[in-house]
């Protein structure tokens, strides 16, 4: 989602039905990935039951409680709204890790639950995005990269290439026909397929989950992460250079991008 979201924001696709559909598809596939990881590999104990109960209570209670809490304590220089949301996310993420599940799962569920209320506050969304992308995300990738062995990557370049080829091939086989079936022309279908072939965030989350639970060793993890980084770069570059659907760009964005790259920087700052 991180790579796709960034591309959607940069080009303004997030304001179109086309971009929203791609983001929704990425959200569902990533949610399915993290749920599958939890069901297949995480042990089911009383801790898991407690975690499921807490997440269920938050999923039901937060949409009702959050608007009331924001109305009473929000709108102040202390940025209570941002602190409250991050507290809820980190508390449930810590509970998920303690229960042996994946810490990012509560973030997806809370995001779904609060999309109808918090999602309408664009100023708050910008603040959360700034903190997440500007501060928290780099620390995560530093941690994920800390376990990568460069000698292991250099020793298995064919493994990296093979994983990249398999990942792109499976996405083309699975996504492209579906996009065409629902009426997307070839260019739009290829753009959607290649963007969904990028898997930086959840790819590293899955690889780190496997390493932390002794499912894979350090050399396998290193090869996987190198391939995952490649999937974030290669498909995105191909998509934006060869298959960018300019006719899908927002009207206020499309003419500018035809002639100059400078407004692209402005759209990122404004988005």
- pLDDT tens digits along 191-231: 999 988 887 877 888 888 888 878 888 899 999 999 998 98
> What confidence tier does 253 reach under pLDDT thresholds 50, 70, 90?
low
2, two tokens: 């991180």
The model's pTM: 0.75
Which residue, 90, 24, 88, 31, is CA-closest to 61?
88
- The predicted structure's pLDDT at residue 252: 64
Six-digit token string for 201: 């965030």
Angle ∠(120,240,267) on CA atoms, nearest 5 = 40
Higher pLDDT pick, 133 / 80 = 80
Q: Which two tokens stand for residue 141?
A: 């990738």
């Amino acid at each position: 989602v991180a790579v796709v979201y960034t591309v959607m924001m940069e080009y303004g696709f997030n304001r179109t039905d086309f971009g929203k559909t791609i983001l929704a598809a990425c959200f569902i596939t990533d949610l399915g990935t993290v749920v599958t990881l939890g069901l297949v590999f995480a042990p089911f104990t009383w801790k898991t039951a407690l975690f499921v109960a807490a997440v269920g209570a938050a999923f039901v209670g937060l949409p009702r409680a959050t608007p009331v809490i924001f109305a009473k304590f929000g709108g102040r220089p202390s940025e209570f709204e941002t602190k409250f949301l991050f507290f809820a996310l980190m508390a449930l993420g810590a509970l998920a890790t303690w229960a042996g599940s994946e810490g990012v799962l509560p973030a997806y569920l809370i995001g779904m639950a609060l999309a109808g209320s918090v999602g309408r506050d664009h100023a708050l969304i910008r603040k959360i995005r700034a903190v997440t992308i500007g501060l928290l995300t780099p620390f995560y990738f530093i941690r994920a990269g800390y376990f990568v062995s460069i000698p292991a990557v250099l020793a298995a370049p064919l493994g990296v290439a093979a994983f990249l080829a398999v990942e792109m091939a499976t996405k083309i086989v699975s996504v492209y026909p579906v996009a065409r079936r629902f009426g997307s022309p070839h260019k739009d279908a290829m753009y959607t397929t290649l963007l969904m072939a990028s898997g930086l965030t959840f790819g590293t989350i899955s690889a780190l989950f496997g390493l932390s639970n002794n499912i894979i060793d350090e050399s396998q993890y290193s090869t996987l992460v190198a391939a995952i980084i490649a999937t974030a770069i290669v498909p995105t570059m191909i998509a934006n250079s060869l298959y960018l659907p300019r006719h899908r760009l927002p009207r206020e964005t499309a003419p500018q991008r035809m002639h100059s790259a400078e407004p692209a920087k402005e759209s990122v700052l404004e988005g």
